[in-house]
Structures are given as structure tokens and as C-alpha cells.
Structure 1
Amino acid sequence: MKTIKEVINKVQLVDGVFTASEASDIVSNLIEEKINFHKLHRLSLSEGNINSDTGYDDSRVIELTADRKELKQLCREARLTGKKIKINGILEIEVID
């Protein structure tokens, strides 16, 4: 059976050209919020049940931490070469079955 997705809304979170420092701040803060979300979600799952499956949240924290490290390196290289960074971040929000 096919699930029909309907995009309800698109939110343009970020769109522009930024200095390396600005880009680092913007994306680092977004990533940090997602890391905190997964840490809190992991805590709420394990609260009262230490055997809860927190594998997804654990893996997302690891992935996001690695992404943040890669971003910092990219921004460092851009800063050293005097380049700017273009960011286009769109959230697509949809209702699914």
C-alpha cells in the first residue's frame, strides 16, 4: 500500500550567504538543538525503564556530532581562504499515515 504524502508547509529557516563565522554559528546552533532533542528524548525513554531501546537517538547524537565536526572544519577552511558560505535550509512539513 502506498502512503500519500502531502506537504503542508515549507519553512525557509536559512537562506543567504554568510561569513564562515556566521555560518558556523548558524549551523552549529541548529545541530546543537537537534542533539539536545535526541538526548532529552533518550532520557525520557529510559526514565523508569533502563532497558528502553534508545539506539536511534544514540546513533543520531553520534551522527550529528560528526556532522558538527565536519562543519567546523569546512568553516575553518573557508575562513582561512577568505571565502563565504551559502546556506539554504528548508523544512518540509507533511502529514503522513
Structure 2
Amino acid sequence: MNTFTVEKKKKTSKNTNQQLKLIDGTFTKREAINIINNVVDVKLNFHKLQRLSKTEGNINDACEYDNSRIAELIDERADLKSFLKALKTNDCNIKISSTIHVTIEE
């Protein structure tokens, strides 16, 4: 069963941790590739918008910024897609789970 769920811990005044269960399920090879592509695309867009917002409106900006995380995400996505595409069969089930942990640092 494919599920995308949100799991919240009960809020308390002392709670400095939250988690979001983003992906938890078994998927076909095609579904797994689509999920991975979509999640990585959102993260890539986030980094690209952050980069753009740092330089927008400043004609004197040299447009020098760290692209290492963007390159890293692109490389890791390509590796994972190659791994999944290399599977001999389309009939296998692929388990994907992803939980986002949020912690308040003081």
C-alpha cells in the first residue's frame, strides 16, 4: 500500500523536536523513480531560488556562489535512477521511507 502520511508528535511547551513522515510505502520501479525525481526536483528548486535571491537586484554581484549541494543532489539522483533502472525486472517492489526530523537548536 502506498502512503504519504504526516505524523505529528503532540506539542508541549518543552518539545523542541517534530517529525514529518513524508514517504512510507512500497512502490513499483516506475513509481519509485517518479517519487525520487519529484522530491529531488523540489529540493533543487529550493536551492536555486535561494541562490537567485542572494543576487537578485544587485548589478554589482559577481554571481559567485556555492553550487556544491545542487551538484551533489543531481549526482545522487542520477546514481539512484541508474540503480533502479538496472534492476532486471519491473515486477519487484521497492520500499521507500523518508522522515524529516526538525529540531530547535538553542
**TM-score range normalised by the length of the shorter chain:** 0.7 to 0.9
Unaligned runs of 5+ in 2: 1-14
Where do residues 17-96 of structure 1 align in structure 2 (5 Å cutoff)?
A: 17-47=26-56, 48=58, 50-51=61-62, 54-55=65-66, 58-78=67-87, 80-81=88-89, 82-96=91-105
Which stretches of structure 1, 4 residues or longer, exceed 4 Å deviation after superposition? none
Aligned letter for 1:75? L
Structure showing the higher helix proportion among its residues: 1
Look up the match of 1:3.
none
Aligned-pair Cα RMSD in Å: 1.7
Equivalent position SS for 1:90: strand
Structure-2-length-normalised TM-score? 0.75
Structure showing the higher strand proportion among its residues: 1
Work out the number of aligned pairs and report it.
89
Larger Rg: 2
